[in-house]
Amino acid sequence: MKEVAIDVHGLTKSFDGHVVVNHLSLKVPKGEIYGFLGPNGSGKTTTLRMLCGLLTPDSGDGTCLGYDILTQQDQIKRHVGYMTQRFSLYGDLSIRENLEFVARVYGVPRPHRAAKEAIARLGLEGRADQLAGELSGGWKQRLALGACILPNPQLLLLDEPTAGVDPKARREFWDEIHGLAAEGITVLVSTHYMDEAERCHELAYIAYGELLAKGTAAQVVAESGLATWIVSGPKLHELAVELEHRKGIDMVASFGAELHVSGRDHRALDAAIAAAKKEDGAHKWKRGEPSLEDVFIILMDKTKDNYAA
């Protein structure tokens, strides 16, 4: 059995009468990258804040790095690096000055040397004296990650760290995350990108406060029970509008020049597809494998926004 970094049960948190996190249980093994997915407003950020001691749950209990999340929040904070969605370093300080400041705040020995090593590790040498406020999104995120790891945390909580970052910068950022995990650091990362989700060792999907699926990407897809057909041809938008109302079809989604048509009742789905083929010979139909994105679209469609009237 792997050692566990996070082990929480029944976490619940409400704001203004709305349940934001609803009896959430989660177990994250040490040294793994655990993906946290879900639509906006689904409770991901609130959960991260409860795990690192910034928020106290209304109910539930558990441990983070072996410390009780209800009574040992200060100890948890000393061993966790938390990267928020919004860049939170000082824009009018240089990269070097920001990192030296963080090192001093956390009592890191020899702050100047620690900042220099972080700059080298993250490939920021040529930008060390550049003001943080002048950096692009990708470089800002790299700097923020450098600040998170300066105190040598055992756990990183990354809240949508690559939102608005270009694909190359995202890949480089994720290569660094995998390097950190290889060193034994546990990473819990929220993301909206399916390619990033597939780079995680395990996933949890939360929608409007409730955990709906968890496991490896392959397990989440397999356990969804979803079957998918892929359609190509002319006037796909019109076809999609017509198909989405047919019995047996749970989802129709556009992917470039193709449609993904999916359902959980395989027999009913095949019957709907057979009928559509008879009515229209202008399209090409083939069986496909459901993607992680197909599964998450289905899960999102089946859940109710907890702020909706």
Query: What pLDDT score was predicted for residue 2?
Result: 77
Q: Do residues 83 and 36 touch, judged by C-beta distance below 8 A?
A: no
Element (H, E) at 263: strand 258-263
Instruction: Tell me the pLDDT band of 297, cut-offs 50, 70 and 90.
Output: confident
Give CATH superfamily name and number for 4-221: P-loop containing nucleotide triphosphate hydrolases (3.40.50.300)
227-289 has the same fold as 4-221: no
Please name the fold of domain 227-289.
Answer: Alpha-Beta Plaits (3.30.70)
Alpha carbons 300 and 250: distance in angstroms, whole number? 12
The 10s digit of each residue's pLDDT in 16-47 is: 888 999 999 999 999 999 999 888 788 889 99
pLDDT (mean) for 46-57: 92
The 10s digit of each residue's pLDDT in 223-281 is: 989 999 999 999 999 999 999 889 999 999 888 899 999 999 999 999 999 998 888 78
The residues near 215 (Cβ < 8 Å, ≥ 6 apart) are 202, 203, 223
What pTM value is reported for the model?
0.86
Alpha carbons 199 and 178: distance in angstroms, whole number? 9
The 10s digit of each residue's pLDDT in 202-221 is: 999 988 788 889 999 999 99
The 10s digit of each residue's pLDDT in 170-188 is: 888 899 899 999 999 999 9
Here the tokens at position 16 are 């203004």
Looking at the DSSP bridge assignments, the partners of residue 187 are 33, 156
The mean predicted confidence, pLDDT, of the chain is: 89
Alpha carbons 59 and 69: distance in angstroms, whole number? 11
Domain boundaries, given as residue ranges, for the chain = 4-221, 227-289
Query: What pLDDT score was predicted for residue 140?
Result: 85
Alpha carbons 85 and 3: distance in angstroms, whole number? 28
Instruction: Tell me the pLDDT band of 305, cut-offs 50, 70 and 90.
Output: low
Alpha carbons 187 and 181: distance in angstroms, whole number? 7
The 10s digit of each residue's pLDDT in 95-149 is: 999 899 999 988 899 999 999 998 888 888 888 899 988 888 888 888 888 899 8
The residues near 86 (Cβ < 8 Å, ≥ 6 apart) are none
pLDDT (mean) for 66-93: 89
